[in-house]
Amino acid sequence: MKKLIFVRHGRAEEQSDEIPDFDRSLTDKGKIISAHMAGLLREKVEGPFIIATSPAFRAYETALIFARELEIDPGTVILNNDLYTGANIKTVAGILEDIDNKIDTVVFFGHNPAFTEIPDRLSREGCDFLPKSGLVCVSFKTDTWDGVVHGNGSIEYFLKPEKA
């Protein structure tokens, strides 16, 4: 079975003229909630797996928080600019092409609206809106990444942070 987990970045600083969108950091609350969500994912995910993230700082920072909690070497995190500039199913497929079939799970970090739309299109039942720090796992009954097909997945779990 192959699994794709989509994690939306945590709460970030407000947009301003002083800080470019790409460079916005997580707020303290965003870091705390991301760490909590990483702990919830740790209870569900089985290794080995790979992390791929948008290089925008808020997504990368979220990915590093999860990597630490999941005991993944941060040096192995894949940065993919397309996860920032125009993520879609083709972006995901392009990343999966380079992943060995011995790996069963890929955890993606990025942005809405793509991180709601992609799992929505990959799964048979669709996907609700993915909030900041939320995550959704789409599983596929296949042993190869080539078997990850549009509309063939199932939502295995959808975790969102509690309102705080």
Backbone φ/ψ region at 155: left (φ over 0), alpha (ψ -120 to 50), beta? beta
What pTM does this model have? Answer: 0.96
pLDDT classification of 81: cutoffs 50, 70, 90: very high
Q: What is the pLDDT of residues 143-152, one digit of tens each?
A: 999 999 888 9
Q: Give the mean pLDDT of the chain.
A: 94
pLDDT at 163: 58
How far is Cα 21 from Cα 8, in angstroms, rounded to an integer?
16
Token representation of residue 73: 């070497």
Q: What is the pLDDT of residues 109-120, one digit of tens each?
A: 999 999 999 999
How far is Cα 78 from Cα 71, in angstroms, rounded to an integer?
15
Q: Sketch out the chain's domains with CATH numbers.
A: 2-159 (3.40.50.1240)
pLDDT at residue 98 greater than cutoff 70 = yes
How far is Cα 65 from Cα 70, in angstroms, rounded to an integer?
9
How far is Cα 156 from Cα 136, in angstroms, rounded to an integer?
8
Residue 112, classified by CB atoms within 10 Å of its CB into exposed (0-12), middle (13-18) or buried (19+), is middle
pLDDT at residue 164 greater than cutoff 70 = no
